[in-house]
A and B are shown apart, each in its own frame.
Chain A
């Protein structure tokens, strides 16, 4: 039955209606989400018709014929009561398992994803590629390549939404969130802000350009000479005087950052914390909250002095500091 409904809906969508019934499916997960959507639509139709149909039949068959008609007393039939408790429960279990399976499977980006960075601010999207190319309200991505976006906001909560990919995630100030997708269709698609963010919320929209890999490479190359994000970060690192404490030979007042990314560090509280993007961001905007035990907590906050984009560049720089193999203090 699902198949029939799906085919029917696709025919309807393909027909020259005034409007389509579904957006294009342009990512590796879109068709899976659509299949669940068709199933739920079919289920909704089935039960709506069942309830409406039953009511309609009863309305006619049991209409009041004389003003003082007294119908027979209601007999509550327990098996029926149990049936319409248990059957909907089972249907819900099926939907839950199906939907959760899709969601969990899509929750972790593939290891080989190409990374890009998104900062939302009232009312535009700032995007930077690791190679250093920046865009505003446009996102160029290669087709058939997993792309992971690390996102944060400069001000209020935004939401990064690409309908044809069926992906959406809130972009929240003060933390990083990420989504990933693998575009399967070349073309130009809508990018929306889906969380109300103030006056021009509805203008915080843009376009996603899905290109063949060689076209994408050519597009990147057209801005050759742009410093990479890590190079931007290095420049900032020196400008802000970070290097005076975080010297690479571990002689400064702060820890050396060589190879620190991805390690686990023992905090003053005794907890172990993974040094990831969020950790490094915290170290910059609220250093005391992640102070390490063996160093004096003297680092000032850089909140307000660096934009979220610059924080992302600093993180890219720290990540690039492979350095010598570092021994973690995690033991």
Chain B
């Protein structure tokens, strides 16, 4: 048996003055962490790993923004600038955003929210983390051994036949880490189907679970395609098998079809979990049942399905036929509708609520605003005529950062703050947390709003040097990035501080609904002493007194 196996009755009879046994203090050895099958501990392993990757990717972003203060480039030579934006993209997309919420909050919360003792396949869960680490090691190796300069999109034939940088180790890293996503998705789907507590019917599930389910479907269906794509890229680069390079009989556009067939759904891998977190935060801090539960739940599934049919909108200017363009355009508009429905439902949930403004709620409100802007600017890119002008410019950069950073990262931080007391059993200083949320919101907008204007003015993305007339907006953006960078460091500091010095948290400090709040903070290894029986709908705040623990 593993070292993670514990006496599950240890905390049932607490002796006064002796600390209750929980999943954190049950065993302090390094081995007990590295060989744990406990979904909560694995969530912590992921949390540490992706936080590290986030700050590595963030460092590259800061260097880029410093470089762009001067039109002729302030910091590095063009080839190094190209490596900065490539490694920023690869690390942030594949090693932070994709695993962010599913692998940390999802891992921690899916069993807790459905009243289970663990995920269906605890060993696979641990394996997924090791796979992630191996993938990350390959990618970090490529960074240290000279970096890669293809852009995170790896477009061929540049990546396969022309680039002189570490394409293959990076591609191997992306290839490997995909399997960790597949295993996580598989684990979640089986767990949600088979391990719900008695009485927890599908339509009583928290919406976070619906979002995780939809995300898992994309993990399983989409991720193999990026793996195949990276494999083919490696074959062409190493063995010169003509797949993508027309000089040896390949088709470079084929790569883009394969790449975006995964990478557009991947955008929803990154945002759907954030939407799930949002539904939890908005209800908890307004003490209201969600407005339109079924609409919000099914919009997640609708997004998961339609997201597989819109990849061609990345290729309106590659030379695909006018008819293909029209079809991908109309489907891209269609995928916007479920997102709009969610935004309206969250807003309506606040109506006649009892709204409080602790830090997680500030992140949630920030999410709604920034995601709304990110979504609406997506319409500019689904529209064929405007996309022709905007594609490949800073407008694209601004748009997807509003979704990925303004949306996904805000939701991630909101979720981390919301469940931090549950995860660690400690409270963080809320004033600092609110201050950080505000700094991040301001810094974010100052960084990325000017990029919309830059894009419409025609400044292409991925430019190491640029014409002087774009300088003012670039300097504004760089100034914003410095604020944003500080904004991200503040939570890192006080969250680490609170882990050791924060006041102990009660089992339900927010007065929130949901099974995870019915057990101790931090939870015992087996999550619940007795498996709960569910008799009410999700977010049923109106029935009982909201405040206080159990």
Instruction: Give CA–CA (A166, B376) in the complex, Å.
Output: 21
Contacts of B253 in A (CB 8 A): 172
Instruction: Give CA–CA (A174, B79) in the complex, Å.
Output: 26
**A81 interface residue, CB < 8 Å from B?**
yes
**B18 interface residue, CB < 8 Å from A?**
no
Within 8 Å by CB of A199, from B78, B337, B542, lies B78
Contact A62:B354 (CB < 8 A) given known A71-B541, A159-B317, A201-B82: yes
Asked if A55 and B365 sit within 8 Å, CB to CB, the answer is yes
Asked if A70 and B541 sit within 8 Å, CB to CB, the answer is yes
Asked if B291 and A74 sit within 8 Å, CB to CB, the answer is yes
Asked if B392 and A195 sit within 8 Å, CB to CB, the answer is yes
Contact with B along A165-201 (1 / 0, CB 8 A): 0111110111101000000000000101111111111
Asked if B329 and A55 sit within 8 Å, CB to CB, the answer is no
Q: Categorize the interface residue count of chain B.
A: 35 or more
- Separation in Å of the B524 CB from the closest CB of chain A? 28
Asked if A202 and B380 sit within 8 Å, CB to CB, the answer is no
Asked if A71 and B547 sit within 8 Å, CB to CB, the answer is no
- Separation in Å of the B446 CB from the closest CB of chain A? 14
Contact A190:B354 (CB < 8 A) given known A168-B388, A168-B391: no
- What DSSP secondary structure best describes chain A's contact surface? mixed
In the complex, the number of residue pairs spanning A and B with C-beta atoms less than 8 Å apart equals 272
- Separation in Å of the A74 CB from the closest CB of chain B? 4
For B345, B347, B379, the residue with the greatest tally of chain A CB atoms inside 10 Å of its CB is: B379
Contacts of B322 in A (CB 8 A): 103-104, 107
Contact A99:B386 (CB < 8 A) given known A59-B355, A71-B352, A72-B542: yes
Contact A76:B293 (CB < 8 A) given known A22-B457, A172-B318, A173-B246: yes
Asked if A36 and B386 sit within 8 Å, CB to CB, the answer is yes
Contact A64:B354 (CB < 8 A) given known A104-B322, A159-B317: yes
Asked if B379 and A92 sit within 8 Å, CB to CB, the answer is yes
Contact A63:B545 (CB < 8 A) given known A168-B317, A173-B246, A198-B158: no
**A89 interface residue, CB < 8 Å from B?**
yes
Asked if A44 and B365 sit within 8 Å, CB to CB, the answer is no
Within 8 Å by CB of A84, from B246, B336, B344, lies B344
Contacts of A205 in B (CB 8 A): 467
Contacts of B387 in A (CB 8 A): 99
**B252 interface residue, CB < 8 Å from A?**
yes
Asked if B469 and A19 sit within 8 Å, CB to CB, the answer is yes
Contacts of A295 in B (CB 8 A): none
For B340, B348, B460, B542, the residue with the greatest tally of chain A CB atoms inside 10 Å of its CB is: B460
Contacts of B469 in A (CB 8 A): 19
Within 8 Å by CB of B392, from A19, A33, A69, A168, lies A168
**B225 interface residue, CB < 8 Å from A?**
no
Asked if B457 and A20 sit within 8 Å, CB to CB, the answer is yes
Q: In chain B, residues 451-465, which have Cβ atoms closer than 8 Å to a Cβ of chain A? A: 453, 456-458, 460-465
Instruction: Give CA–CA (A156, B164) in the complex, Å.
Output: 14
**B232 interface residue, CB < 8 Å from A?**
no
Instruction: Give CA–CA (A20, B377) in the complex, Å.
Output: 19
Asked if A196 and B379 sit within 8 Å, CB to CB, the answer is no
Asked if A202 and B465 sit within 8 Å, CB to CB, the answer is yes
Taking CB as reference atom, which chain B residue is nearest A63?
Answer: B355
**A219 interface residue, CB < 8 Å from B?**
no
Asked if B319 and A170 sit within 8 Å, CB to CB, the answer is yes
Asked if A85 and B337 sit within 8 Å, CB to CB, the answer is yes
Chain B: residues with CB nearer than 8 A to chain A?
A: 78-79, 82, 149-151, 153, 155-158, 161-163, 245-247, 249, 251-253, 286-293, 295, 317-319, 322, 325-326, 329-330, 333-334, 336-337, 340-341, 343-345, 347-357, 365, 368-369, 372-373, 376-377, 379-380, 382-389, 391-393, 453, 456-458, 460-467, 469-470, 472-473, 541-542, 545-547
* CB-defined A-B contacts under 8 Å, sample of 26: A40-B380, A48-B376, A51-B372, A52-B369, A55-B368, A58-B350, A70-B287, A70-B541, A70-B545, A71-B287, A72-B542, A74-B291, A74-B542, A81-B292, A92-B337, A95-B379, A100-B326, A157-B252, A159-B392, A173-B252, A177-B319, A194-B392, A196-B461, A197-B158, A201-B82, A201-B464
